[in-house]
Amino acid sequence: MPELPEVEVTRLGIAPHLLGQRLEGAVVRDSRLRLPVNADLAGRVAGQRLLNLRRRGKYLLLDLEQGAILIHLGMSGHLRVLPQSTPVQKHDHVDLLFTDGLCLRFHDPRRFGAVCWVADPDRHPFLRHLGPEPLGVDFTEEYLYRRSRNRQVPIKSFLMDAHIVVGVGNIYANESLFAAGIDPRRHAGRVALPRYGKLVQAVRDILEAAIAQGGTTLRDFTRPDGRNGYFRLSLAVYGREGEPCTQCGALLHDIRISGRATTYCSHCQR
């Protein structure tokens, strides 16, 4: 599933083409997504200007003059800015049509994504209980330390809890815990404040590096300009189980925490 950097790369890729443009309608070819596409989507958006395009966790929000369009890429979704005359391909489910002749086309083979109009996105059930953004000012070592007290869950599960912090998926949780030198099995309540400081910095550094490098190449994700991201070349532990640690040379271990593949170095992570 595309993670926060992939979604942010998508936002950065499409925003320059569409911000300030006015919508003339929408074409819905298949409404059977994770959430059914609004039957009246075309009427809801017609005539409205796109005021802002922002990200909340792994969700994209297209803020209009009234309401917003909420988009989730699901497991295999991606967006393209194309001329409206571009031939439609299989799995091109939704087009948002702009008056300048462009469209924002949503393609999703598995149909686990979402495209829906919402009146108040920040109060939507998917968004209203989310934790702070990992690249925002509210994500601090003091915040994590306070939320973690008396928590017996593994620190990796804690870090991936969207109620604690949004958008730190499996790939980046693995990488951040390795960079901070924290064993992913350690209980969140047993991590000291200074170590949370290292973890916060590691999360920020790794997510920013991934965004700068175009996102991690996943099987079903390509960038809005059609090129794959290449941050996977820089991964230190994720997907490298049984290979030598880049720091100490010991073989990396692979376990499952909360059902998710977890790779770590027993020598470097304590």
Least confident of 70-79, 145-154, 156-165: 70-79
> Mean pLDDT over residues 70-83, rounded?
93
> Are 159 and 219 in the same domain?
yes
> Are 161 and 257 in the same domain?
yes
Q: Is 58 a catalytic residue?
A: yes
Looking at the DSSP assignment, which residues form a beta bridge with residue 51?
none
Position 219 scores a pLDDT of 57
Catalytic residue selected from 2, 5, 121, 224:
2
| 39 burial level (CB within 10 Å; 0-12, 13-18, 19+) | exposed
The DSSP element (H or E) to which 241 belongs, if any, is none
Last residue of a domain, one of 89, 123, 157: 123
155-to-89, 106, 196, 208, 245 alpha-carbon distances in Å: 43, 35, 10, 21, 21
> Are 96 and 181 in the same domain?
no
Is residue 269 pLDDT above 70, yes or no? yes
Residue 77 per-residue DSSP state = -
Is residue 203 pLDDT above 60, yes or no? yes
Q: Is 2 a catalytic residue?
A: yes
List residues forming the annotated binding site. 91, 110, 151
Is residue 206 pLDDT above 70, yes or no? yes
> Are 109 and 180 in the same domain?
no
Least confident of 79-93, 111-125, 225-239: 225-239
Position 222 scores a pLDDT of 57
Q: Is residue 129 part of a domain?
A: no
Q: Is residue 131 part of a domain?
A: no
Whole-number percent of the chain with pLDDT over 90 = 86
**Sorting pLDDT into bands at 50, 70 and 90, what band is 230?**
low
Q: Is 34 a catalytic residue?
A: no
The count of domains in the chain is 2
> Are 175 and 80 in the same domain?
no
> Are 101 and 12 in the same domain?
yes
> Are 145 and 248 in the same domain?
yes
Q: Is residue 269 part of a domain?
A: no
Cα–Cα distance measured from residue 55 to residue 66, given in angstroms and rounded to the nearest whole number: 18
Task: Indicate which CATH number applies to the domain containing 91.
Answer: 3.20.190.10
Q: Is residue 223 part of a domain?
A: yes
Catalytic residue selected from 44, 55, 56, 58:
58
Q: Is residue 136 part of a domain?
A: no
Catalytic residue selected from 34, 198, 232, 260:
260
Q: Is residue 192 part of a domain?
A: yes
Q: Is residue 238 part of a domain?
A: yes
Domain of residue 232, residue span: 141-264
Is residue 133 pLDDT above 70, yes or no? yes
CB count, 10 Å around CB of 40? 11
Catalytic residue selected from 3, 24, 141, 175:
3
List residues forming the annotated binding site for DNA. 91, 110, 151
> Are 113 and 188 in the same domain?
no
Higher pLDDT, 181 or 233: 181
SS3 93: strand
Position 68 scores a pLDDT of 97
Is 0.75 topped by the overall pTM? yes
Task: Indicate which CATH number applies to the domain containing 197.
Answer: 1.10.8.50
Q: Is 132 a catalytic residue?
A: no
Our separate counts of H helices and E strands in the chain read 6, 10
pLDDT tens digit sequence for 20-53:
999 999 999 999 999 899 999 999 999 999 999 9
Q: Is residue 256 part of a domain?
A: yes
Position 220 scores a pLDDT of 58
CB count, 10 Å around CB of 243? 11
